[in-house]
Amino acid sequence: MTKLKWGMIGGGEGSQIGPAHRLGALADGLFDLTAGALDHRPEQGRDYALRLGVAADRAYGDWREMLAGEKNREDRIDLVTIATPNSTHFEITKAFLEAGINVLCEKPMTMTVEEGEEIVRVAEATGKICAVNYCYSAYPMVRQARAMVRSGEIGKVRLIVTNFSHGHHGDATDADNPRVRWRYDPAMAGVSGQFADCGIHALHMASFISNDEVENLSADFASTIPSRQLEDDAMVNFRMSGGTVGRLWTSSVAIGRQHGFDIQVFGETGGLRWTSEQPNQLIYTPVGGRTQIIEKGEAGLHEDAQRLSRVAIAHPEGFPLAVANIYCDLADAIRGETRDSLPRAVDGLRSMAAVHTAVASAKANGAWMDARPSIFR
């Protein structure tokens, strides 16, 4: 099968998420890195692209040059990944979709709900794929949890408790480090800091596993480092349309917590627990029964979990492989196979509606508010 041609914007040398995309996209030989505008500094971006093996005429200085260079080529890229800071996602995503190129956009997809609605509209109008990198949803044991809920193995879901809380921005003396600061700068990050950065992964996961959507929420935001304009800690209570109760804590000042993403799903006949620091195991307790550990790669998993278990049982499987699973589903989708597990622009839009509702709720002392985008009300 011919490889799909892949381009990347952002994710330059030394960036946080760039290496995971390169490992993920290239892991299965499905994509070739064909074009790139990898850095906000044109020369560094070009130079790095050349070192990664991109041809000189496709190592671009910025994304506009890349769009102009790619859109009329016969051998243009099949997919572009956008791994730049949040404030740039909307215009780059929109421009590439309009040029007829499929997009994988980093989260949060946009800065505002209106921009999110526009991306959903443009993706529909152009018929192009706009995926959003909720990569944790592609861990095999998250897929197992989702399949177990869908096949009724824990009954109707009553309650979801999820945390995405780490301590890596907890040092007030490091708050001005440029890699940290943009995440709390409204001009770069948008209306929300930690909730838009990490909380939306947890909120997406709640919907992804339960097959249900957030309807209302109430939020309490805090900037525990007072120089920050945006929150570094948030508690968000939510209710889902099927009646499920949700609790979400997200923080970047929880010193001692490393990655700190976990989710517990409590149903009428059983409970599930998954944690990103031990991603190979899913903990399952049937009502009245013993707690069991379900291992990635073991016999009898649901099909989606089996398909995405890449490494033999008991061998570690990590974050880049979850990103690789997103690229596998994308390659299938580009080649015309339906993958309803691939997070799409509507998921990105739901997150933006939740972020803006949480900001409004936090300002209104935690008042409960409708968190659905208007197109789903």
Interface residues toward ligand NAI, by CB under 6 A: 9-12, 15-18, 37, 39-40, 62-63, 83-86, 88, 106-107, 133, 135, 179, 197
We find the least distance from the C-beta atom of residue 39 to ligand NAI, in angstroms, to be 4
d(CA 303, CA 305): 6
We find the least distance from the C-beta atom of residue 42 to ligand NAI, in angstroms, to be 9
We find the least distance from the C-beta atom of residue 290 to ligand NAI, in angstroms, to be 34
We find the least distance from the C-beta atom of residue 85 to ligand NAI, in angstroms, to be 5
Which residue lies nearer to ligand NAI by CB, 108 or 271? 108
**Which strands make up the sheet holding 102-105, listed edge to edge?**
31-37, 4-10, 79-83, 102-105, 130-132
Which residue lies nearer to ligand NAI by CB, 11 or 246? 11
Give whole-number Cα distances, 18 to 14, 42, 56, 227, 371, in Å.
8, 16, 20, 29, 31
We find the least distance from the C-beta atom of residue 19 to ligand NAI, in angstroms, to be 9
Which residue lies nearer to ligand NAI by CB, 286 or 318? 318
d(CA 40, CA 312): 40
Which residue lies nearer to ligand NAI by CB, 133 or 163? 133
We find the least distance from the C-beta atom of residue 43 to ligand NAI, in angstroms, to be 12
Helix axes 200-210, 140-150, angle to 10 degrees: 40
Beta-carbon contacts of 177 under 8 Å, excluding residues fewer than 6 positions away, are none
We find the least distance from the C-beta atom of residue 81 to ligand NAI, in angstroms, to be 10
Which residue lies nearer to ligand NAI by CB, 136 or 221? 136
Which residue lies nearer to ligand NAI by CB, 218 or 251? 251
| Nearest residue (beta carbon) to ligand NAI | 12
Looking from the CA of 205 toward its CB, the CA atoms found within 13 Å total 31
Residue 177, number of CB atoms within 10 A of its CB = 11
Which residue lies nearer to ligand NAI by CB, 91 or 268? 91
Which residue lies nearer to ligand NAI by CB, 148 or 202? 202
d(CA 85, CA 178): 12
Beta-carbon contacts of 162 under 8 Å, excluding residues fewer than 6 positions away, are 202, 203, 205, 206, 246, 247, 248, 249, 261, 262, 263, 264
Nearest to 213 by CA among 76, 99, 354, 60: 354
Q: Rounded to 5 degrees, what angle do the CA atoms 112, 114, 120 make?
A: 110
d(CA 287, CA 71): 56
List the helix and strand counts (H, then E) for the chain.
13, 14
Q: Which token pair is 64?
A: 């506009």
We find the least distance from the C-beta atom of residue 354 to ligand NAI, in angstroms, to be 15
We find the least distance from the C-beta atom of residue 241 to ligand NAI, in angstroms, to be 25
Q: φ, ψ for residue 268 (rounded to 5)? A: -70, -25
For residue 171, the 8-state DSSP code is: -
